[in-house]
Structures are given as structure tokens and as C-alpha cells.
Chain A
Amino acid sequence: MLQTPTLTVAAIEKGTAIDHITAGQALKIVRILGITQHKKQVALGLNLPSAQLGLKDIVKIEDREISPQEANQIALFAPNATINIIENFVVSKKFQVCLPHTIANLVVCPNSRCISRCEPISSLFHVQQRQHTVYLSCHFCNKCFLQEEILEYQHH
């Protein structure tokens, strides 16, 4: 029988637990959400057993409530993630991340000849989904990329 992940990662009294993160993506999500600067407790669980995913990551952030808009920013890397808002050690709100139509100010365009790499502008990508594969199309240079081709992120 699979071990219950919540027993593996320390519980929090108030904040957000991001569950069902694709294994290996938790550290990236911590950076994208700007949690590296968070002064309260942050608990990470990496490669935990999951009935749904096989392996998964978990992030728990004390005293910070992740908004649906913030959550959708991570959908590209963790399309199955669930956001649990915790109050008094219990889940008060729960929702799934949803892939947005556009992703702004997050991904650095992998095309080194793209204007967004040189001008002080926010990057902007149009999200296209074709047969379960997600592509990001740069608003500026029109180049299309798979998620695994994205190598750099704008940290907040």
C-alpha cells in the first residue's frame, strides 16, 4: 500500500499545500512563485509515491495563500497539480490548476534572436494544445516551443 504523502511532509496550520506536482518540478515551482524569499516555513516533498502519478512532488507554504491566477502560472509544469488552502490544519478550499491562454512575464524565450531577450519587455506566450501536447508560441518571434524546451524563467 502507498504511504500517505501528507505524513511524509510536515503539516502546516495555515497556508497552501500544492499537491500532485509532476515529480521533479517542485524546485522550479518554488522559484516561479517567488517562495525562495518567503520567511515562513516551506516544506518540500520530492518523489513521493502517488497512486495517480506514480511519483509526485509536494510543496507546503506557511502563511501564504496562492491565488488561482498564480496557480495557473505553474500549470505548464504541473498540469495535474491541486491547490489546497489550509486553515487550522484542515483544507478550507481546493482547486485544480488550469492551463491559461497566455503566459506573461514568466518564460524566457529560448530563441536567442528574439526581441524579448534584448528589449525591456515582458515575455508573452500563447498557449496552444494539440493532441495532449502543449506548445508555447512566442507573441513576438512566433517560434513554438515544447515545455521541455523552456530552459529559463523570469524569477519573481
Chain B
Amino acid sequence: MLTLTKKKDFITIKEFSKETLLDIIATAHTFKKQPPNNILTNKIMGSCFFEPSTRTRLSFESAMYRLGGTVIGFAEAGVTSTKKGETLQDTMKVIEGYVDLIVLRHPLEGAARCVADIVDIPVINAGDGANQHPTQTLLDLFTIQECQGRLEDLNIAVVGDLKFARTVHSLVEALSLFRTRLYIVSSQGLDIPKETIEQLRIHNIKFSYHKDVREVMSKIDILYMSRAQRERFSQGAEYIGATSVFTLEKKHLEEAKDNLRILNPLPRNEEICQDIDDTPFAYYFQQAKNGLYVRQALLTFILKGE
């Protein structure tokens, strides 16, 4: 049975109001300007990563240490008792006794919800398979606001593997709360899920589908590139099809507006050519750094209620 508590979990974007998201982002801006004091002293974060991660795990752990807290956990499933056949639920119920909050990444969709239902401490979804990655979305929103000065009235293109890219699913759901115009550019067979599009329809967000990003290049303020999620493909042919369509080259940016910024949740594969890094359009490394401030703000919001 479900455990119905008032604890603050962060599992999917759509469970949070626009106001709450903006509050967390505002705190992150404050933390970026003025590093916070040790406000999470004596708090322990369980960093439970059953799947590889660089930015999410390290920025969460850095955020916790910089807030005065400590971290225990693991970076791969192979070192846990799941290797001995223990269920995810049993593993997490044990870890619950050692920490104040769980940050969970898992390859299966809905894993974070499953854990949040059975433990009494807060759970943050750090990515569940191809489903959601809501903390990436917080830093994406933060970065968009930082580089464009606003979150409303923007033209945003999401490009790449929109089927398996959980960062896109969460971001599009969040953007449905703002007055944005969305251009959806995916290759056939890697289309954005209908559940994500439904959120746009519910919120009357204008969107259109395109086959080539160049069709909309002169209109957009944000170009959100997503790599082909090869680890989630069942067949190699899907991967080859996706990468052959979505490789952004410098010449594609000739018609871009000056204020265009390119975002990418990283890691990068073939979707953005390296020589774009030196252009003023590239903003993905700043975006990755912002993960620290946003995760500091989220940890503070959940553990201190601020």
C-alpha cells in the first residue's frame, strides 16, 4: 500500500507549481551570487546511483558538502546488495535508516516513485530510465532565465532523441507552465511521448513539429539539443537513424538570432560539433555548472523548508 505522507519528494515536474519552481530558481540565483553558509550541517544525503552519472551525481554531492552536509552512497548498482538479489525496495528501506534524504538514479522508469511510496524520508528523482529528470529541468530553467533574462515569451526548439531523452520530457512539461512557443524536432521513431504533448495541450501551449532544425533557426531563442540515448535503444538501427539527422554544425547557425543560446544536458555525442563551443551561442558548460546552485537550492528547500 502507498505511504501517504507530507514529506517533500521531487519525483516529477508536474507535481510542482510554477510558484514553487520559481522560488527554488530564485534561491539558486541567490546562492550563485552569494555562496550559502553551512545550513545543512548534520544532514546526510544518500547518493544512490544505480546508473552512470557525472554531472548529476557530482553536483549533488558537491552541493551537499558545500552546504555543510555529508554524503554516503554508491555510484553503481554492482556494489550494492541488489547484486545478491535484494529488491530495490529492501535496499532503499535499509538506506532510509542511515540518511536524511535519498537522491536516486535508476535505469527503470518509475523507480523513484516506487521508493518514495515506501520510505518516510524525502526522495529526489535524479533520473528514472527514459522517464523524467526533474532536477535537470530546474537547472535548465535557471539557465534559460540567466541567459535570456526571462522564462516567458521565448521561442524554444527541442531537438534530437525526444523519445528516450528524459531531460526533454521534464523540460517540456515545465515549459508548459510558461508562455513559451515550442518547436519540436525529432526523427521518425524517436518522437516525443504523447503524455508529454498532452501537458502542452492542457496548458494551451503553441507548438509545432519539424523535420529539420534549420526550418526554425531564425526564430528561436533557445536551442535544446539532446543526444541519441543509445543506452536505451533496443536496436542499433534506431541509433544510426537518430545521429544521421541531428548533428548541429556551425554553418547551421548562420541565420540564428544574436541572443540564441544552445543548451545540452550533456554528455555530448555527435549532436553538436566541437567547433561550436567557441561561438557565443554555446552555453552548455555554464548550464552544467549551474547544476550546483540549483541542487543546493533544492536540497535546502527539501531539508530546511526554505
B106 touches A115 (CB 8 A): yes
A115 touches B108 (CB 8 A): yes
Q: A121-B89, A142-B131 are in contact. Are A115 and B111 (CB under 8 A)?
A: yes
B130 touches A120 (CB 8 A): no
In Å, the complex CA distance between A38 and B260 comes to 68
Whether, in the assembled complex, B42 has its beta carbon less than 8 Å from a beta carbon of chain A, the answer is no
In Å, the complex CA distance between A113 and B130 comes to 9
- Pick the interface stretch among B145-153, B182-190, B192-200, B247-255: B192-200
In Å, the complex CA distance between A16 and B131 comes to 43
B87 touches A141 (CB 8 A): no
A119 touches B87 (CB 8 A): yes
In Å, the complex CA distance between A118 and B85 comes to 12
Whether, in the assembled complex, B176 has its beta carbon less than 8 Å from a beta carbon of chain A, the answer is no
A119 touches B193 (CB 8 A): no
A143 touches B130 (CB 8 A): no
Q: A121-B89, A142-B131, A143-B193 are in contact. Are A114 and B198 (CB under 8 A)?
A: no
| Chain B proximity of A77: nearest CB distance (Å) | 22
In Å, the complex CA distance between A139 and B15 comes to 13
Whether, in the assembled complex, B109 has its beta carbon less than 8 Å from a beta carbon of chain A, the answer is yes
In Å, the complex CA distance between A111 and B232 comes to 13
B131 touches A141 (CB 8 A): yes
Contacts of B106 on A, CB cut-off 8 Å?
115
Q: A113-B108, A115-B88 are in contact. Are A139 and B130 (CB under 8 A)?
A: no
Q: Mark A123-145, 1 if CB is under 8 A from B, else 0.
A: 01000000000000111111110
B113 touches A144 (CB 8 A): no
Count of B interface residues, CB-CB < 8 Å: 23
In Å, the complex CA distance between A121 and B12 comes to 20
- Residue ID in chain B nearest A109 by CB atoms: B110
B109 touches A141 (CB 8 A): yes
A114 touches B110 (CB 8 A): yes
- Residue ID in chain A nearest B130 by CB atoms: A113
Tell me the chain B residues, 83-99 only, with Cβ under 8 Å from chain A.
87-89
A-B CB contact pairs (8 Å), 17 listed: A113-B109, A113-B130, A113-B232, A115-B106, A115-B110, A115-B111, A117-B108, A118-B108, A119-B88, A119-B89, A121-B89, A141-B110, A142-B109, A142-B110, A142-B195, A144-B194, A144-B195
Q: Which residues of A contact B (CB under 8 A)?
A: 111, 113-121, 124, 137-144
- Sample of 12 more A-B contacts, CB < 8 Å, known A113-B109, A114-B110: A111-B109, A121-B89, A121-B114, A124-B2, A139-B113, A140-B109, A140-B113, A141-B109, A141-B129, A142-B109, A143-B193, A144-B195
Q: Which residues of B contact A (CB under 8 A)?
A: 2, 12, 87-89, 106-111, 113-114, 128-132, 193-195, 198, 232
